[in-house]
Structures are given as structure tokens and as C-alpha cells.
Amino acid sequence: MKNSLMSPSNFSSNGNATFFQVENGYSDSLSLLNSERAVLELVQQPLIDGIDDHLIEFSEAMRTVAKVLRHAAEGKASAQVEATEWKRKYELERERNWQLEQRVFNGNYNSEHSDGRFKHLIDQPVQSDGTVDKSERCCDENGICSHEVLRNGEPGYDTNVLPDKMMRKASFKLSWCSKGENSNQHKHDIVSFEKGNITTAERSSKQISLKWESPPQTVLILTKPNSAAVQLLCLEMVRWLKEQKNLNVFVEPRVRADLLSELSYYSFVQTWEDEEEILLLHSKVDLVVTLGGDGTVLWAASMFKGPVPPVVSFSLGSLGFMTPFHSEQYKQYLTSILRGPINITLRHRLQCHVIRDTAKNEFETEGHVLVLNEVTIDRGISSFLTNLECYCDNSFVTCVQGDGLILSTTSGSTAYSLAAGGSMVHPQVPGILFTPICPHSLSFRPLILPEHVTLRVVVPFNSRGHAWASFDGKDRKQLAPGDALICSMAPWPVPTACEANSTTDFLHSIHNGLHWNVRKTQSFDGPRES
């Protein structure tokens, strides 16, 4: 039997032989339907008397082929509808985020010009996208471009007109430190194209320095619970800040109750009563002091849903990747920090939210969650592998089949991502770590993606089970088939004070916390090269 003429792909609905093109291994849906009709017409023709048995078998095979073609056409149509719907939801989400960013940018721009700050940027050349040309900006005396000077003032904020001294917010600015204290060279990170050659200008040190423009007035102290050593240190530190530095002190409600139970002297300590007051803490607090470990720093960061004051972390926990200061010398450290200037590390955070499959529009989403370490999507108690489709902006990344996926900041690169095989990254490097958890693939290696991308992790409809998302180890949410997690870099980093500088503190933490690359030194009395 020859297949060149009897193949079902060579018949049209009218019985004439024809050929149709195949793209990416799939036929066009209409062609599939036409082929199915041709096969049905062929198999429904009456059998000729005396026909061979192999033609009967061929007839049964044609019926099977017809079923396969019908299922392929239905599957492709369903996949196209699903892909179109997800693309629509994703584009609406990107548009909404873009509008929010433009609204925040315009609000900050107007407030800066309304009180006279950055007035000199008005006359700078503007590119077609509305941004100031970087190569035309001038530097200030600290060696940082003027557009990179960050301030914590609110729109319309004036420190000279506030009548309440108790609630006055200290102002500060951040600047890139130059190479050498006496250096007066203003260096830019620009690329030169002179004479057709691409060269990079000499880079200045990228250590960020914080300088107070007005003295700090209010300090927030956050402590690790259920620790007698932390409680004693908190009692001593609160008294010292009030008597020696004349500062206003905020603590958590449970800590204030503990202080008052010890002595009524601590009645001057302030706290908050509800969630609304917590949302306003960033407008009252000049400095945050944490007493505990890295978990206390994560808790401090989670309290601020927007801008975060500078954080000074004292090590009273087991690991100290983000706690460089020793509690025994807190008076010397705090005196130096309150006087300034200090080196800081801007620790980037991720902004995440869940879009449910049942959402009617892009605004019907759950609230945003900010994470300092990582967001984890795993299989929970299910015995099945997770099945996660991952997209980066408009590009398909991969389908994760394993125990789950970790989307981590560079600050979180020494946490869960490290245990899952991810790389350790300097916390001031802007980026998102894409680390699988026990993937069922030998070629699935971790990725480090740029900070400007938006990641979308979808639980497909053909997934055997649900997935679970957790944010810095808390607030677990169930993701059903069709739900999606959207993740991008948040615009509000966490500024943490450095004992020396960001690089020295980072290397010190991995040496002491992880004993990184610790081994016995090779003996000197062995064989040598001649």
C-alpha cells in the first residue's frame, strides 16, 4: 500500500488531492477541520465486495486519525484563546504600573520645583522621552550628578515652618563618594563614542554616603521578641537616647508595655495604636534601630510600605548578613551615626501582587507586598511537581517543573536562594535572582536578571495541583490554576548603615557567617616546580 496518495493529509473536502503547509509542527485549524471531513467521507464510503482485510484495518486507522485531528484543532484553538486572554491581562497590568510610575514621578517633579529644589535642572537639555540628558548634567561638590541626589522630604515640606519640634523630620541627602577625600574631579559613568571607539569613562567609587542636613530628632527602636538580653539592652539604650541625646523614641506597643512594667520613668516613650499610624511612621521617624538578627531587619522593612528611613542594625541574633554593628559599642556607633556622614547600602526590594483567574479586570487584584529577601512559589503539601510558566516582560522564560521557584533580591542571595544553588551577589548590585528549587532537569541553572524587568509566574490550567507563594517566609497565599504572581523591583529601597563600607561589610558577613572558602592551607614542604 502506497501512502503518497492515501495519506489523509492529501485529501480536501471534495476528494481532490491537496497539500497544506505545516508551521511549527501544527497545521492551521481550518486545514485540520477540512482534513477531518475528508477522512470521514473516505471512511463512510461503502466497502467493495471482496475487499481485502487490510483495507478494513486502514478504515479503522482513518477514524483514529480523524479523532486526533479534531482533538488537535480543539486544543490549538483553546490554547490561542488562553494565550490571548493572558496577554490582555498582562498588557493591562503593565499599563497600570506605568501610569502609577508616571503619577509618582510627576508628583515628585512638581514638588521639587515648587520649593526651589533642583531648579537648575529646568534649563538642562531634554530627550525625546522626557528625561534629562545624563551627559549634560553637572555634578555637585561631592562628585555625584545632581539628579542622583536623593532627599527624604515630602512634597511641600519645609523644616523651618513646622511648629512642632517633637515631630520635625530630619532632612538628608545621599551622594556617591569620590576616589579620595581631596579629589575634586567630577566623574560620570558614561560611554564615549569618540572616533568610532567605544570606551567607558573612569568610574568613581560607588559607595553611597548619607549626610544629615538637619539633626535627627526621632528614633524608632525595633527588638527581637522573647529575648532577655535584647530587653535589657533596649532599656539601657532608650534611657541613653533620651538623657544624653535628647531624642524622641518610638517603640512597638508590646515593648512600651514591657518598659512601663519595669519603671514608670519610661512614660515618655511613644508608640502607635493602629495600622494607619504605622503607614505614617516614615514621615515621623528619622532613624530606625534594630536589636536582633536579620529577621528583625526583615520585620523592620516590612513595616514600611513606602519610603524607609535609614536603618542601623545591631547584631543580637545567630546570623548577621545585615547586622554589622556590635551591641557592646552602641554608644560610640550611634554617636557617630547621629553626627554623620555615614556610609550606607541601598538594599533593593521586590514588589509583588497576585492576579486571580477570576478577576474581571486589571484593578481587581490583591494588595502589593514588599519583600527584602525573596518571594517563593512552591508545591506546599502537594505530592505533585509544581508546574509554573514564567515570563520576563513579553518573553517566555521557561516552565518550572520541580519543587518550586525563588525570586530573590541581591540582599536575599545569601538566604534561601543560596541554599537552592543560587549565586551570592553583592547587595548593592541591582538585579533579580531567578533560582529553581530542586528542578527535575539537569540543565536548569539559576539566572540573574536586570532590575528593570517585570516577571510573571503563572500556574497553568493543566497543572495537577495548586502552588503556594510566601513573601520573606510569611503571608502564604494559595495560587490556583490560572492565577499569576507579578514581581518587579520596588521603587523604595531599604538604606542600611555600614560599619565600614558596603563591600567590606558584605565580605565580612560571608566570611564570618558562612565561613566562605575556609580550608587548610596547602603545605609548603611538598613537591615544587623546578
d(CA 343, CA 205): 12
3-state secondary structure of 487: strand
Helix (H) or strand (E) holding 233: helix 228-243
Whether the CB-CB separation of 402 and 386 falls below 8 Å is answered with yes
Helix (H) or strand (E) holding 312: strand 311-315
Whether the CB-CB separation of 256 and 228 falls below 8 Å is answered with no
Residue type, 237: M
For β-strands 208-212 and 172-176, DSSP reports them as antiparallel
Q: Which residues contact 25 (CB under 8 A, 6 or more apart)?
A: none
Whether the CB-CB separation of 231 and 223 falls below 8 Å is answered with yes
Q: How many CB atoms lie within 10 A of CB 509?
A: 22
Is 129 annotated as catalytic? no
Cell numbers describing residue 106: 510627576
Identify the residue whose cell numbers are 473516505. 42
d(CA 222, CA 368): 23
d(CA 68, CA 71): 5
d(CA 293, CA 284): 24
- The catalytic position among 52, 140, 274, 294 is 294
Please give the angle made by the CA atoms of 278, 282 and 287, to the nearest 5 degrees.
115
Which residues are known to be catalytic? 294
